[in-house]
């Protein structure tokens, strides 16, 4: 129900996008959809992994003991705990990861990369890195890469102001 003086309050004017702003936005929107799909397609075809599954395995593989708390994996992969939990369960069913409760109070859980998981990510990494180079790195000049990082970090800071869901630099 509207307040009695709702008619008297001005509605904010919409700041429509200029043609250049619209073109930039549409390019960014297409990139956010198409790049993950292209990376996913390569990993599915080569290794039977989704891009997100690969990211989880890769984050774990970078730990000296191949172990990390689920909340830290979620932050490193920019994922919700719910999505991460479902995906880790699938990886666990494949024998690539196992989970174990962290001793003490709280509901903390570690994910541990198994030997088959290590072998899978080591096998997947060369093809994935080649595809990332092909689609992103090698088509940009060094100044473009710096600009891409700067722009991405600025937008992520707006999307996730507290930085909880952003990957480490």
Indicate the pTM of the whole model: 0.84
* Side-by-side strand order, sheet with 67-69: 67-69, 109-113, 97-101
Measured at the alpha carbon of residue 167, what is the angle toward residues 162 and 169, in degrees to the nearest 5? 100
pLDDT reading at 60 higher than 60: yes
Number of C-beta neighbours around residue 46 at 10 A: 15
Q: Please check whether residue 39 is in contact with residue 127, taking contact to mean a CB–CB distance below 8 angstroms.
A: no
**Mean pLDDT for all residues in the chain:** 91
Give the pLDDT of residue 12. Answer: 84
Ordered by where they begin, the domains of the chain are 46-127 (1.10.10.10)
The pLDDT of residue 2 is 52
Q: Helices marked H in the chain — which ranges?
A: 19-47, 51-61, 70-77, 81-93, 115-135, 142-159
- Three-state SS across 110-131? EEEECHHHHHHHHHHHHHHHHH
Assigned token pair, 137: 């790195």
Q: Is the pLDDT of residue 9 over 80?
A: no
């Amino acid at each position: 129900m509207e307040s009695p003086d709702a008619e008297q309050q001005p509605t904010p004017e919409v700041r429509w996008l200029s043609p250049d702003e619209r073109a930039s936005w549409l390019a960014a929107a297409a990139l956010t959809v198409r790049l993950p799909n292209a990376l996913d397609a390569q990993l599915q075809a080569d290794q039977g992994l989704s891009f997100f599954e690969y990211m989880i395995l890769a984050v774990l593989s970078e730990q000296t003991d191949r172990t990390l708390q689920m909340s830290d994996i979620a932050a490193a992969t920019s994922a919700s705990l719910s999505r991460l939990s479902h995906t880790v369960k699938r990886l666990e069913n494949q024998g690539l990861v196992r989970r174990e409760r962290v001793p003490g109070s709280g509901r903390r859980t570690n994910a541990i990369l198994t030997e088959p998981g290590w072998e899978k990510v080591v096998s997947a990494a060369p093809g994935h890195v080649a595809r990332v180079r092909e689609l992103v790195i090698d088509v940009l000049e060094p100044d473009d890469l710096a600009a891409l990082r700067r722009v991405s970090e600025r937008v992520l800071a707006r999307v996730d102001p507290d930085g909880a869901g952003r990957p480490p630099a």
